């Protein structure tokens, strides 16, 4: 196969892969099937582009040939030297590209990773990022949620303590059994937390702020 023809076809595929990824928002697997290219090859293209600092859409002065050189500097190139391409002198596009992941994007991937039957590794692979990076986002958002606890000190909590634990259904963790009783009244739900000191009953509605306050109090009690 002619090397020049092969390079042109490869660059066209590279541009199409990036278009499908960033304009059409397709997954790595879907792009691989659409362009008839190996899953790992598509993943490498997207990953190298994300690390290159080149923005999307591509700068008008950045040709497909130079993009190929930026992403794959070790790949065999044509013997003819490419003319130098002048990019914006202020290099502002490189500075902007370093902030590649918006907060909305991080929160969406974290939300997907928390769905039943999914894994962080799978979600990361489908979106062309490193699994460790998604783990970091997940931990950062969880720590931020605890740090922004809006429940004021001394606010009364709607809980009921009993001295003798009631019979419970066996659970994996003997100190945290989550039971949803039958609806009472107008569909009201309750939850029982069986601890060594007794049983804590929570009644609907149970807000995230209430749960964070409860977790905080439980942590302070075991120090």
Say which residue, 20 or 93, is predicted with more confidence: 20
Q: Would you call 160 helix, strand, or coil by DSSP?
A: strand
- Work out the number of other CB atoms within 10 angstroms of the CB of residue 129: 20
- Cα distance between residue 192 and residue 5, in whole Å: 69
- Give me the pLDDT at residue 202, please: 72
Burial of 36 (0-12, 13-18, 19+ CB in 10 A): exposed
Percent helix, strand, coil in the chain, to 5, is 45, 10, 45
Look at residue 179 and give its three-state secondary structure.
strand
Residue 15 — very low, low, confident or very high, per pLDDT cuts 50/70/90?
confident
Is 144's pLDDT higher than 50?
yes
Task: Answer with the residue of higher pLDDT: 201 or 138.
Answer: 138
Give residue-wise pLDDT tens across range 68-92: 888 887 765 544 455 555 555 555 5
Q: Enumerate the H helices of 72-201 as residue ranges.
A: 92-97, 103-113, 120-126, 131-147
More confident residue, 210 or 14: 14
If you average pLDDT over residues 139-164, what whole number do you get? 64
* Average pLDDT over the chain, rounded to an integer: 72
Please give the model's pTM, rounded to 2 decimal places. Answer: 0.34
Q: What angle do CA 77, 78, 83 make, to 5 degrees?
A: 95
Please give the Cα distance from 108 to 102 (Å, whole number). 10
**156 pLDDT tier (thresholds 50, 70, 90):** low
Across the chain, which distance is largest between two alpha carbons, in Å? 85
Helix (H, G, I), strand (E, B) or coil at 172: coil
**Confidence (pLDDT) at 148:** 66
More confident call, 198 vs 184: 198
CA distance 61 to 157: 62
- Cα–Cα distance measured from residue 126 to residue 168, given in angstroms and rounded to the nearest whole number: 41
Tokens of 48: 């190298």
Least confident of 35-49, 173-187, 199-213: 173-187
pLDDT at residue 164 is higher than 70: no
Q: 201 by DSSP, 3-state: which?
A: strand
Give the mean model confidence (pLDDT) for residues 48-55.
86
- In the structure, what pLDDT confidence band is assigned to residue 3 with cuts at 50, 70 and 90? low
pLDDT tens-digit readout, 96-127: 455 467 888 888 888 888 888 888 888 888 88
Percent of the chain with pLDDT over 70: 58
Judge whether residue 157 has pLDDT over 70. Answer: no
Q: Which of 105, 146, 103 is nearest to 124 (CA)?
A: 105
Q: By C-alpha distance, which of 17, 28, 20 is closest to 129?
A: 28
Q: What is the mean pLDDT of residues 38-52?
A: 86
Alpha-carbon distance of 27 to 157, in angstroms, equals 45
Residue 51 pLDDT greater than 60, yes or no = yes
CA-CA distance, 220 to 78, in Å (whole number)?
A: 66
- What gap in Å lies between CA 196 and CA 67, rounded to an integer? 63
Q: What is the pLDDT of residue 99?
A: 44
């Amino acid at each position: 196969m002619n090397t020049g023809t092969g390079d042109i076809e490869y660059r066209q595929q590279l541009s199409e892969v990036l278009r499908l990824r960033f304009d059409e928002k397709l997954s790595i697997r879907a792009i691989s099937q659409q362009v008839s290219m190996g899953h790992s090859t598509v993943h490498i293209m997207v990953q190298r582009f994300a690390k290159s600092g080149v923005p999307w859409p591509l700068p008008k002065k950045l040709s497909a040939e130079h993009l190929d050189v930026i992403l794959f500097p070790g790949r065999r190139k044509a013997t003819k030297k490419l003319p130098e391409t002048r990019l914006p002198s202020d290099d502002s596009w490189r500075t902007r590209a370093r902030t590649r992941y918006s907060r909305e994007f991080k929160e969406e991937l974290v939300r997907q990773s928390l769905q039943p039957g999914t894994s962080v590794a799978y979600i990361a692979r489908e979106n062309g990022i490193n699994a460790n990076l998604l783990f970091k986002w997940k931990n950062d958002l969880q720590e931020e949620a605890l740090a922004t606890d809006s429940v004021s000190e001394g606010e009364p909590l709607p809980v009921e303590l009993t001295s003798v634990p009631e019979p419970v259904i066996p659970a994996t963790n003997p100190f945290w059994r989550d039971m949803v009783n039958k609806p009472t009244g107008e569909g009201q739900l309750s939850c029982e937390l069986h601890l060594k000191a007794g049983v804590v009953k929570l009644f609907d509605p149970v807000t995230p702020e209430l749960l964070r306050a409860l977790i905080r109090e439980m942590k302070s009690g075991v120090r």
